[in-house]
Every structure is written in structure tokens, then in C-alpha cells.
């Protein structure tokens, strides 16, 4: 089935059973694989709440006409399936739902919809492909797609606005990237096509509520992607995005004040810059122990003012062999108290690294700080710190203004000898 195939069904009255033919299989000995499809309820004549799955009840059945016993059933527009063959992540009934088959199904040539529990308007089913990026927003007024004018590549874009309308998008300057909703209902927006970078910062970040599908496109940067998304709490999608080629995560969740999503399985192995990544993300506290950060040079301000961050209660043992800048990394991270097993032999800037980290008292006596050039305010107001760093040595004379100012628990004989 091609990505442009479109099928329409009208459910004329509650007891009518309607069917949508997917066409005759031209290759009867081959598997028929439907990579994805979109289910949309267009303009229902009744109010629906966001994610009000109890408001709509019908089944989607994949019927194996060759009687091979392959079938998937999705009750109540829900997230379930049969034999791992069908998954469907629903939106609110005014939006869209992307459904993916996880493997080929032989002989599936018919899709049957049983009547809903309440009357609905026509339903359309359209193949959109596995490249679809889907997210949920607060509607009302004019919204903007998260496209960037520079530093990104786009082609073949099409947006489904979640209100029964859609538009092709030529590039980031296309006026069709803007859309006006007639009411403030939550909407699910689906963006298809080829793209390698998106950012909600500067494009209505306060509207974003969720990401439901990342799609198969590979990203090249997450810089400022969710910056200022202060209603975003987590991602409902269980799969991580394709970040194998992402070099920059700088500011990715900066000031995303409510975000606390589990992103511990994300691939950050190519990243060189994690600066400001969780700056001001005051509710973030997930375990990032498994992250491979060996290529990261810049950790500055990474957890600055992330006041609840404590690595999910686990130690943080990272290979930071490429790091040169850890300035302000835990500035104002008032809850952080975990063991830090870092390699800091190449780090030159420790300025304010633990400034105001009032709970931190991790043993970092084994750190190799011989390359340090800036120790200004490194432990300033780190009021609980009392580890023995008397063995620290330096190849050159670093600046160290206010190095331990306000570190009131730190015994003098445990402090390093500074010039």
C-alpha cells in the first residue's frame, strides 16, 4: 500500500457495520506489510475531552482471508494488539492515531470497523509511513510548526493538524506552517516527510504537552529542542528517538520546568555538547547512569538549578575522558548527593561547579585536577561538603577566588593547598 493511499468510511448510523477494503493482494504468495496508518475522526458532532478513550468504543480487526489465524484487535481505540502484530497509540478522538504493524502479516486484505457506541462523522484511513513525528499540543489561536530556518534539512513534509485538515509544507518559510484552531481543545499534530532537526523553542513551547511518536528520521541536533516547554512532563512514546548522529543536546530541556521523563535509554554516544541540557528543569530526576558521554567536551551548566536532580537515587559513573568544561555543572542543584565517578584529567574549567549544591558531599578525592585553570567558587555555598581533597595537586596556578566561601562544613585540613 503506497503512502498516498486513502480510504474513507461513513458510519451512517450506530448499528451499521462498515468495511474498508485494502485491495486485492497482487502477490498472493508474499507478505503484505502495512508500515503505518492514520485513523482520524473528522469533526465529531459532540464534545470530546482530550484522550477521552471512554467516549469512543469500536474494534479494528485485521482479517486473514487465507484463514491463517492472524488477527489484531484494538478495543476502544486503545493501545493493545494481538500477538504483537498491531499497536495503536490513540489521540483524543478529534485528533489522530498512528498504528504500526511490527511484522509482516500474510494475507491481510480487509479492514473492518464495527460501529461505535455513539454516532460519529466519517472516518478516514490514510497511510503516512513510519517517518511520522506526532505530538500533542494545547490548541486555540494560531500555532506554528517546530521548523528551523537554518541548520536543518526538510523535504516532502505534510502536516495533519488534528482537526480534520492537512497541508503540504515546502520548507521552513512556507506560510502553511501556521495554523489557526477555532477552539482551545487539545490537538494531536502529525508531521510526515524527511527532516533532521526540530525545535519547539520560539515556536509555541508553552503549548507542547507530549510527544507520541518520534518517527524513523535521524536527528542531527537536539539543541534547545524543548527549551521553555513548561507544560511538558514526559513522553508517552516508549521508544527513544534516533539520536545516533546528534552532536548537540545543549539546552534541550532548559527551563522545561515540569519535565521528568525517563530518557535514560537515549543514545548520546555521538554528543560533544551537553551544556544547559537540564538547566532550570527543576523537576527532572531520572537515572542517566547508562549514558555514554565519552565524546562530550562541554558539560557546563548541565544541571544548573535542576533543584530536584539526584540521578534518580543512583550513582553517576560516567566516562568523561574528553571533558574540558564542567563550569556551573551542578550550580544550584540543591538535592544532588550522589557519588560522582568522573575522569576529569582534561578539564580546565571547574568554575562554580558545585556552587550552592548544598547537599553534595561525594568523595571526589581521586579526581585528577592537574589541568585545572579555573577553580573560582567551585565549592561556594556547598554547605554539606566535607571530603578530604588535601591530595589534589596542580600543574599550574589556577584562579581560585571564593573557592570554598560558605562551605561551612569543610574542615580546613581536608582542603587542597591553593596558591
Q: In the structure, what pLDDT confidence band is assigned to residue 216 with cuts at 50, 70 and 90? A: confident
- Region 207-213 average pLDDT: 92
- Which residue from 34, 245, 25, 267 is spatially nearest to 130, judged by alpha carbons? 34
Please say if the pLDDT value at position 367 is more than 90: yes
Q: What is the pLDDT of residues 14-57, one digit of tens each?
A: 222 222 333 333 223 333 333 333 444 333 332 222 222 222 32
Taking the C-alpha atoms of residue 303 and residue 297, their distance in angstroms, rounded to an integer, is 15
Query: Which of 337 and 110 is assigned the larger pLDDT?
Result: 337
The residues, ordered by sequence, that sit 6+ positions from 26 with a Cβ below 8 Å of its Cβ are: none
Q: Which three cell numbers stand for residue 349?
A: 574549567
pLDDT band at 5 (very low <50, low <70, confident <90, very high): very low
Residue 189: which pLDDT band, with cuts at 50, 70 and 90?
Answer: confident
Rounded CA separation 194/239 (Å) = 19
Is pLDDT of 119 > 70?
no
Which pLDDT score is estimated for 64?
Answer: 30
Q: Cα-flanking dihedrals φ and ψ of residue 184, to 5°?
A: -95, 20
**Average per-residue pLDDT for the chain:** 76
Q: Which of 78-87, 91-100, 392-401 has the highest mean pLDDT?
A: 392-401
Query: Is 70 exceeded by the pLDDT of residue 401?
Result: yes
pLDDT of residue 287: 98
User: Per residue in 292-329, is it b (16+ CB within 10 Å) or e — as a string?
Assistant: ebebbbbbbbbbbbbbebbbbeeebebebeebbbbbbb
Average pLDDT over residues 57-85: 30
pLDDT reported for residue 336: 98
- Bigger pLDDT: 62 or 319? 319
Q: At 147, is the pLDDT very low, low, confident or very high (cuts 50, 70, 90)?
A: very high
Q: Which segments of 22-172 are extended strands (E)?
A: 37-41, 60-64, 86-89, 96-101, 108-113, 123-126, 133-138, 141-144, 154-160, 166-169
Q: What is the pLDDT of residue 128?
A: 53
Q: Percentage of the chain surpassing pLDDT 90?
A: 60
Lowest mean pLDDT of 207-221, 255-269, 299-313, name the range. 207-221
Could you tell me which of 39, 75, 42, 40 has the C-alpha nearest to residue 57?
A: 75
d(CA 123, CA 11) in angstroms, rounded, equals 8
How high is the pLDDT of residue 129?
56
pLDDT on residue 130 = 63
- pLDDT winner (highest mean) among 29-38, 147-156, 178-187, 230-239: 147-156
* Sign, Cα dihedral of 299, 302, 305, 311: negative
Model confidence at 316, pLDDT cuts 50, 70, 90, reads very high
Amino acid at each position: 500500500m503506497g503512502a498516498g493511499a486513502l480510504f474513507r468510511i461513513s458510519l451512517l448510523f450506530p448499528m451499521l457495520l462498515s468495511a474498508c477494503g485494502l485491495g486485492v493482494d497482487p502477490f498472493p504468495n508474499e507478505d503484505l506489510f502495512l508500515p503505518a496508518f492514520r485513523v482520524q475522526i473528522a469533526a465529531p458532532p459532540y464534545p470530546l475531552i482530550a484522550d477521552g478513550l471512554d467516549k469512543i468504543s469500536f474494534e479494528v480487526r485485521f482479517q486473514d482471508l487465507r484463514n491463517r489465524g492472524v488477527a489484531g484487535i484494538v478495543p476502544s481505540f486503545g493501545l493493545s494488539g494481538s500477538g504483537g502484530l498491531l499497536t495503536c497509540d490513540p489521540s483524543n478522538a478529534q485528533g489522530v492515531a498512528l498504528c504500526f504493524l511490527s511484522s509482516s502479516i500474510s494475507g491481510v486484505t480487509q479492514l473492518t470497523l464495527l460501529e461505535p457506541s455513539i454516532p460519529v462523522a466519517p472516518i478516514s484511513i490514510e497511510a503516512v509511513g513510519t517517518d511520522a513525528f506526532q505530538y500533542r499540543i494545547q490548541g486555540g489561536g494560531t500555532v506554528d510548526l517546530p521548523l528551523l530556518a537554518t541548520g536543518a534539512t526538510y523535504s516532502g513534509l505534510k502536516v495533519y493538524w488534528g482537526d480534520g485538515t492537512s497541508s503540504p509544507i515546502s520548507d521552513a518559510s512556507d506560510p502553511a506552517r501556521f495554523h489557526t484552531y477555532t477552539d482551545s481543545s487539545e490537538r494531536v499534530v502529525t508531521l510526515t516527510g524527511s527532516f533532521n532537526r526540530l525545535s519547539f523553542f520560539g515556536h509555541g513551547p508553552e503549548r507542547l504537552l507530549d510527544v507520541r511518536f518520534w518517527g524513523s528520521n535521524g536527528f542531527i541536533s537536539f539543541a534547545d529542542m524543548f527549551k521553555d516547554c513548561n507544560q511538558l512532563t514526559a513522553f508517552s512514546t516508549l521508544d527513544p528517538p534516533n539520536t545516533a548522529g546528534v552532536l548537540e543536546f545543549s539546552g534541550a530541556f532548559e527551563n522545561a520546568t515540569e519535565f521528568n521523563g525517563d530518557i535514560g535509554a537515549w543514545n548520546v554516544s555521538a554528543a560533544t555538547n551537553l551544556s544547559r541540557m537540564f538547566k532550570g528543569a527543576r523537576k527532572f530526576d531520572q537515572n542517566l547512569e547508562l549514558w555514554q558521554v565519552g565524546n562530550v567536551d562541554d558539560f557546563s551548566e548541565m544541571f544548573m538549578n535542576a533543584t530536584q536532580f539526584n540521578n534518580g537515587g543512583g550513582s553517576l559513573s560516567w566516562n568523561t575522558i574528553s571533558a574540558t568544561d564542567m563550569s556551573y555543572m551542578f550550580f544550584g542543584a540543591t538535592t544532588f548527593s550522589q557519588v560522582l565517578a568522573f575522569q576529569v584529567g582534561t578539564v580546565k574549567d571547574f568554575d562554580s561547579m558545585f556552587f550552592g549544591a548544598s547537599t553534595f558531599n561525594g568523595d571526589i578525592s581521586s579526581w585528577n585536577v592537574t589541568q585545572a585553570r579555573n577553580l573560582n567558587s567551585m565549592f561556594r555555598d556547598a554547605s554539606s561538603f566535607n571530603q578530604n581533597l588535601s591530595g589534589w595537586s596542580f600543574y599550574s596556578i589556577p584562579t581560585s577566588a571564593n573557592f570554598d566561601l560558605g562551605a561551612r562544613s569543610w574542615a580546613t585540613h581536608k582542603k587542597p593547598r591553593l596558591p
